[in-house]
Structure 1
Amino acid sequence: MTSLPPPPPEPHGHPHGHSHGHGPAAPVSQHLRKVIAAVLIPFATAVLVGLVVLWPGGAPAHERTGVGFDRQTQQGTVTKVEKVDCKDVNAAQVPPTGDTSTPEGREAQQAQNGECARATIKVTTGEDKGRTFVEIIQPDAPRQLTEGQGVVVAYAPDAPRDLQYSVTDVNRKVPLAVLAGIFAVAVVAVGRLRGLFALIALVVSFAILTLFILPAILQGSDPLIVAVVGASAIMLIALYVCHGFTARTSVAVIGTLISLLLIGLLGSGFIDWASLTGNTDDNTGLIHGLYPDIDMSGLLLASVIIGSLGVLDDVTVTQTSAVWELRQADPTMGPRALYRAGIRIGRDHIASVVNTLVLAYAGAALPLLLLFSIAQSSVGTVANSELVAEEIVRTLVGSIGLVASVPVTTALAALVVSADRPASDSALGSGGAPGSGGASGSGGASASAPPPRRGGRGRRRKA
């Protein structure tokens, strides 16, 4: 058997045919960057102008009503808890007639039985720091106090002195802070630098929500316009901070923007058609009472847009990354093949994301659904009530936007990555495969390398 000489070395400067099939994606062409910038720069400029024009400078002041969340509160500590006979502290609750056939009478009768707790609470913040008051805890109360426990106390300045302070909640700052710390450590430990960027984006999102969106709505700006500007700012900052200033991220931004536009149009149409007012519970009623100029139906639409944004980001980024990775794995795939492969991935994503969104809203409305079950209302009656109809519209409009984002983003990503022709292709002329990042085609090989050797066939004959 004769041995063949090794093939001659490739000339310097010849690009390897497999060099772009692995590692990070090649940078997009200058022309493609200009096209993407022509779309995103005006949009980002409009968002920035909207932030400047609508910036509220803080929430407007108002006179406290003392109702619900609109109460003056201070911090306190339980200094002593002692057991007392319920008859000694609840004598005034005995029904005058002794009739226990009514719910009020039975409740008053039960208050006379058992052992109650008398807690002494010390106010630890505010002008009355150091002042103490007594709170009676019934044996069947859902919240029992313990000595040394931190509490939140409500202050009613117009009430008699002995009744000015009352316990409204417990202080949960420490466990919540510890849980937030565990969450941050877990995100950074698994995501590393990308996880750190995600936490930064999360902080910025909450800052825009609390410093811009909520105060601007309270100042009387249109809730829909405020939500669109604020959600767009959150989207731009979160996506680019987490995923970098790349064409891949820009495609995800455009896909998210189109889906948000669809959600806004559908939400506006169906909220108006279904005559949803947005004023359905004590909290929205309090907001409308304090700020009657706020458009509550517009506030409902704003909540639909903001609530859908987080899941939209996940879908669009995933679809764009999937198409980009498919292109890197097989540079010969055209836009149609990339779309078909990407949409197969998207179908699985749709099923899981829509189910997640529906269950999230159902979980939030679970107590309400339990009340309807107790009342033995029919499904039609439950769905027709405004409380449930709001959640149905919110869920279905958001889900339609999520479903639409998959084919829209996949098609955009397939077109963009297929049109990508890095600079090395133009240097090779028309022979390079489009988007292959310099992979050798027939023309490219003839221009810079000798013709292929035929030693393989001769070796088989000699073998």
Structure 2
Amino acid sequence: MATAVEFKHEVLLLMGSGHSHGHTGHSEPTPQAMAARRKANRILAAVLIPLTLLTLAAMAALWPSGSKEGLTLANPYNAAPGVTFDTGRIQRVVTESCTAAASQAPQQGTQGAQQEGQSDGGSQCTFAFTEPDKGGNPVKVVINPDVAKSHGVDVGDSIRYLNLTNAQGAAAAGPNGPAANGAPAYIFVDFVRTMPIILLAALYALVVVAVARWRGLRALIGLVGAYFVLVSFMLPGLVEGKPPLLLALVGSTVIMIGVLYFAHGFSARTSTALLGTIFGLGITALLAAWATDAANLAGVGSHDAATLANISGNISISGIILCGLIISGLGVLNDVTITQSSAVWELYELAPATSARKLFTSAMRIGRDHIASTVYTIAFAYAGAALPILIIVMLYDRPLGEALTSAELSEEVIRTLVGSIGLVLAIPVTTLIAVLVVKATGIRAGGQPAVTPDDVEDTGALAAAAAVAGERTAAGGASGQPAETRRGRRAAQSG
């Protein structure tokens, strides 16, 4: 019974209820503890406030004008006069001879399914009879060969297609017929993915809010803010030729400041994680700047890079790659720093009398496990994104070393290495800052830790308390008897 009572008091303490062990009851921070706490918070504020103001000033100085003067990129979705982009739902899919289909009206193609699969010796084309969303009779849409071969189209799919019936030079085409030159009047453009994406986004938001509650909702809102910074500041800045290293550092720092404080609240724990994140971000930026130049990452062989390089002289492909190397590691870096900071607080709350050296050593054991898992996370994430390139390189049958350093894979390899180094170095720095801060702000009368509701919102404290209780039971419980004595007594009773 005594063990249960003590365990209950321990759990209540970890939940921030103010209970203490034994018979001390409620304990208030001593004047010395309050002074130490204020001093630590002042130190954090003295570092973070000027850094935040400097970042915002740099953001204002680098803010792009938004002008697109001089850009000559043609929008593929700007249709020619008389051409429209329509949407519809597929009713039936057939495979016919391309030459025969071009010389007959779609009404003939709809007469029976016996024509499906017939061939006159020419190449075969896939056609989808599609009911337009705007109403009217089904139209015969020709499907691109690569889409038909790789994915295909099915009955019920929503597609977007070009309507050429009213295009200039196509006056001889009927409402459902081919153009005068025999070309198809309706050409597949893309699938309509609006509904699946909306459903997935709604499910994601529901799961996050259901599990993480208000903190999860704040994180989602913070993600929207991060997207705003990326779209309105970083991307236009790259187009206008702003310094990519400064652009990435300033934009990433603003994102991390907003996301961390908005999602996790204003506390010493969050400030500690932010300092560790900024340190890791700086290391990543320096390594990315060196690697981009040393490895000559110029985006050679990329169709998108070639397109950007040709539309404006202000756009630097190597600068875009540099900025991408920094941005790509933000999420994992934020994850390891906030987790490591929280681990230090949880460990200290369980054993407030632990010395700073032992606290750092214990937290780093957790950090080492986190390092191993996050390194795998980064590597596999980039490997999944580059899977088509990996398959192509494999089919080339090139030596492994040559393949990894090729233009196709070198960017992904360097991105993995740079991001991993930054997050690995951020872990001990974050741990050290957290230990110093928690030892300065966590002193209470009677040796109890100063626990705030924000610091113990996570359920990790309860799990840790249960682990302590389990260790007590294994060691002999609250009776203070050695485990060997209790086992011996049980053995004697069973004998």
TM-score (norm 1): 0.75
Deviation at 1:49, TM superposition (A): 1.6
Equivalent residue, structure 2, for 1:204: 225
User: What aligned pairs does 1:446-457 form with structure 2 within 5 A after superposition?
Assistant: none
Q: Match for 1:60 among 59, 63, 68?
A: 68
User: What aligned pairs does 1:287-436 form with structure 2 within 5 A after superposition?
Assistant: 287-420=308-441, 436=449
CA distance in 1, matches of 2:54, 2:169: 54
CA distance in 1, matches of 2:120, 2:25: 82
RMSD: 3.6
Equivalent residue, structure 1, for 2:237: 216
Equivalent residue, structure 2, for 1:227: 248
Equivalent residue, structure 2, for 1:33: 41
CA contact (8 A) 2:129 2:138 kept: no
Equivalent residue, structure 1, for 2:142: 136
User: Is 1:117 matched with 2:127?
Assistant: yes
CA distance in 2, matches of 1:371, 1:270: 25
Q: Match for 1:177 among 182, 188, 198?
A: 198
CA displacement, residues 88-115 of structure 1 (integer Å, 9 cap, x when unaligned): 44789xxxxxxxxxxxxxxxx9983667
Deviation at 1:255, TM superposition (A): 0.4
CA displacement, residues 415-440 of structure 1 (integer Å, 9 cap, x when unaligned): 11112266x66xxxxxx76x8559xx
Distance 1:260 1:70, change over 3 A: farther
CA distance in 1, matches of 2:410, 2:237: 27
Indicate the SS of the match to 1:220. coil
CA distance in 1, matches of 2:226, 2:213: 20
CA distance in 2, matches of 1:118, 1:374: 34
Equivalent residue, structure 1, for 2:485: none
User: Is 1:245 matched with 2:251?
Assistant: no
User: What aligned pairs does 1:185-204 form with structure 2 within 5 A after superposition?
Assistant: 185-204=206-225
Equivalent residue, structure 1, for 2:55: 47
Distance 1:85 1:417, change over 3 A: closer
CA distance in 2, matches of 1:353, 1:274: 24
CA distance in 2, matches of 1:242, 1:305: 22
TM-score (norm 2): 0.70
CA contact (8 A) 1:80 1:121 kept: yes
CA contact (8 A) 1:154 1:166 kept: yes
CA contact (8 A) 1:323 1:410 kept: yes
CA contact (8 A) 2:93 2:129 kept: yes
CA distance in 2, matches of 1:158, 1:49: 52
More displaced, 173-182 or 138-147?
138-147
Deviation at 1:64, TM superposition (A): 4.3
More displaced, 287-296 or 191-200?
287-296
CA displacement, residues 391-444 of structure 1 (integer Å, 9 cap, x when unaligned): 11110011011111111111111111112266x66xxxxxx76x8559xxxxxx
User: Is 1:76 matched with 2:97?
Assistant: no
CA distance in 2, matches of 1:155, 1:214: 33
Sequence identity (%)? 35
More displaced, 111-120 or 207-216?
111-120
Distance 1:110 1:419, change over 3 A: farther
In structure 2, list runs of 5 or more residues that go unmatched.
1-19, 104-118, 171-178, 452-495
More displaced, 406-415 or 160-169?
160-169
Instruction: Give the letter for the 1:382 counterpart.
Output: A
Instruction: Give the letter for the 1:47 counterpart.
Output: T
Instruction: Give the letter for the 1:355 counterpart.
Output: Y
CA distance in 2, matches of 1:249, 1:319: 11
CA distance in 1, matches of 2:349, 2:120: 73
CA distance in 1, matches of 2:246, 2:397: 40
Deviation at 1:50, TM superposition (A): 2.5
User: Is 1:86 matched with 2:123?
Assistant: no
CA distance in 2, matches of 1:121, 1:342: 62
More displaced, 253-262 or 202-211?
202-211
CA contact (8 A) 1:121 1:135 kept: no
CA contact (8 A) 2:348 2:354 kept: yes
More displaced, 386-395 or 292-301?
292-301
Indicate the SS of the match to 1:141. helix
Deviation at 1:71, TM superposition (A): 8.1
Deviation at 1:346, TM superposition (A): 0.4
CA contact (8 A) 2:248 2:323 kept: yes
Indicate the SS of the match to 2:88. strand
Distance 1:381 1:56, change over 3 A: same
CA displacement, residues 254-276 of structure 1 (integer Å, 9 cap, x when unaligned): 00001110111111112211111
CA displacement, residues 113-147 of structure 1 (integer Å, 9 cap, x when unaligned): 667425457586xxxx9999753236953344456
Deviation at 1:291, TM superposition (A): 2.4
Equivalent residue, structure 2, for 1:442: none
Indicate the SS of the match to 2:298. coil
User: Is 1:152 matched with 2:160?
Assistant: yes
CA distance in 2, matches of 1:165, 1:115: 13
Instruction: Give the letter for the 1:136 counterpart.
Output: V
CA contact (8 A) 1:315 1:406 kept: yes
Indicate the SS of the match to 2:127. strand
User: What aligned pairs does 1:272-283 form with structure 2 within 5 A after superposition?
Assistant: 272-283=293-304
CA contact (8 A) 2:94 2:128 kept: yes
Distance 1:274 1:17, change over 3 A: farther
Q: Match for 1:268 among 285, 289, 309?
A: 289
CA contact (8 A) 1:358 1:395 kept: yes
The count of residues paired between Structure 1 and Structure 2 equals: 392
More displaced, 221-230 or 395-404?
221-230
CA contact (8 A) 2:90 2:158 kept: no
Equivalent residue, structure 2, for 1:441: none
CA contact (8 A) 1:280 1:387 kept: yes
Indicate the SS of the match to 1:76. strand
Instruction: Give the letter for the 1:33 counterpart.
Output: N
Indicate the SS of the match to 2:343. helix
Deviation at 1:236, TM superposition (A): 0.6
